[in-house]
Amino acid sequence: MIAAGLGSFLRAVQDLCFPPRCLACGQRLASSRPPLFCASCAGGLRSIASPICTSCGRPFPDAAGGDHLCGPCLRGSWHFTRARALFLYTTPIAKAIHGLKYGHTTAALATFRFFFQARQAELALAIPDRIVPVPLHPHRLRQRGFNQALLLARTLFPGHPDIRPDLLERHRATPPQTRLSGEVRRRNLKGAFRVVNPGEVAGKSVLLLDDVFTTGATVDECARALRHAGAGEVQVLTMARVEES
């Protein structure tokens, strides 16, 4: 009771000294309690909810009916078992993810943890043996100083004993992928990831963590390397997913 009182007192002092701001528009907020979005930006969040594709997690526009496989997943398959994302990649989430990479790290992490905890049950991801953040190329890692996917893994799964940034290596730099089509991305990424110690993933279930699922090419290439090294099930969790046009 006393500890809780002290906690809210310290939060109030902190809010006074470092006024919390909306992760998307920068407007001052009354409290640093997550989620750190003002009412207007929170209105622009789009949660991904059923009905979705049971494999890639793509949401279906028609709210009627249950989860099922989407057309592309019926025609071809991924190397991961299922991919799930919390939100569509709309402006407020894009800005929060940008903050995660380039500045307001603590506030963004607290906000993603808040959303993940609220929706963990509905995501229905099996607890994995290993949690593997999608690695950055060492050069990019040196520039940024940290891997945002690793920060997310530690924030969302604080008690998990096997968060392993050392298992997968990005050994080839790839050009920025943002403007490329899925097919070109896939070609660029071919062989870009390597499992460092296959013995550590053989027969294990793995959860891959990344900030955004764009075409799925990156996580699929990671999943391919992991499966090739003998991993069992590979699941994917991202904070956001780009909506197909």
- Residue ranges binding Zn ion (CB under 5 A): 22, 24-25, 27, 38, 41, 53, 55-56, 58, 70, 73
Closest approach of Cβ 37 to Zn ion, in Å? Answer: 6
- State the Cα–Cα distance between residues 156 and 152, nearest whole angstrom: 6
Closest approach of Cβ 35 to Zn ion, in Å? Answer: 11
**What residue has token string 């905890």?**
117
| Cis bond before residue 165 (omega within 30° of 0) | no
For Zn ion, the closer CB: 86 or 168: 86
For Zn ion, the closer CB: 125 or 196: 125
Closest approach of Cβ 127 to Zn ion, in Å? Answer: 23
Cβ-proximal residues to 107 (8 Å cutoff; 6+ apart), any chain:
20, 21, 23, 32, 34, 36, 99
For Zn ion, the closer CB: 96 or 195: 96
Tokens coding 104? 């307001």
Closest approach of Cβ 75 to Zn ion, in Å? Answer: 10
For Zn ion, the closer CB: 99 or 165: 99
Handedness of CA 204, 209, 213, 215 (dihedral sign): negative
For Zn ion, the closer CB: 91 or 197: 91
Closest approach of Cβ 196 to Zn ion, in Å? Answer: 30
Greatest CA span in the chain, whole angstroms?
59
User: Would you tell me how many other CB atoms lie within 10 Å of the CB of residue 25?
Assistant: 14
Q: 177: helix, coil or strand?
A: coil
